Structure 1
């Protein structure tokens, strides 16, 4: 299973569309906030994909939840924008929350800094940002052999 992870599009729905087109094998698209309207602009162009999203600190007036969980096979993903967990100051709080939810993978944005990591049984990913200069997104491959995280530059 391949999952496309995006964040911080900040009105750049074109980059979101390009990321989805660059990953045709991704069945699931997760948007981690700050660009909820961008998801609404592109989702109907991709009816065969499942879209999951949370709201970020710049998604004013959105009724989308601030956190989400998703079971990808037998792997649990916990995802959020990150501002509620103070990720610009460190990752202790968000990692503690992910562990309390028994997540295998934690996803967050907000910092605009890409990250892929593994720490004591927990996979950690920040896909960076899809807006601005050198946009990035994340890919998660979940197979019987394990989990692989990759941060990619948008072509």
Structure 2
């Protein structure tokens, strides 16, 4: 199973369209918030199930602020992260994830990619396709693959 994880696209849809051509086929698209109204575009072009939450810049939307769902053998919590002070680090987010009993927390907001794997929790932030803030400022995304044994493998990629 191939899962494309993106965040903070801020309605700059040209990069998403370029990316989806590059990585298709995928089995799921996950967006960690701040799509700013492009949800229908993701649903149309992904060609697979889409999980998406609202971010701090998603005004006038019916998107949920957070979601929990099953992905293979993993329980996933999807949030934008701004309500958990992720700009200061992801420790509060990981504490909440453990309290919820999830295996993986996926978040955005910082525009900086993170793959933080610990014994009990994995925290994933794909960075931003539109306004990256990490050194080098390259648009980033994560491809998550579940192998034949159901184990998750994460690959940080750049456009």
Q: TM-score, normalised by structure 1?
A: 0.91
From 132, 136, 142, the equivalent of 2:146 is: 142
Aligned to 2:38: 38
The count of aligned residue pairs is 153
Report the Cα distance in structure 1 between the residues aligned to 2:70 and 2:87, rounded to whole angstroms: 27
More displaced stretch, 34-43 vs 85-94: 34-43
Give the gaps of 5 or more residues in structure 2: 132-136
Aligned to 1:83: 82
Report the alpha carbon displacement of residue 36 of structure 1 after superposing the two structures with TM: 4.2
Report the alpha carbon displacement of residue 16 of structure 1 after superposing the two structures with TM: 1.5
Report the alpha carbon displacement of residue 96 of structure 1 after superposing the two structures with TM: 1.2
The root-mean-square deviation of aligned C-alpha atoms, in Å, is: 1.5
Structure 1 stretches of at least 4 aligned residues deviating more than 4 Å after TM superposition: none
Report the Cα distance in structure 2 between the residues aligned to 1:117 and 1:15, rounded to whole angstroms: 25
Aligned to 1:98: 97
Q: Deviations over 1:54-94 (max 9, x none)?
A: 00000011111111112112211111101011100121211
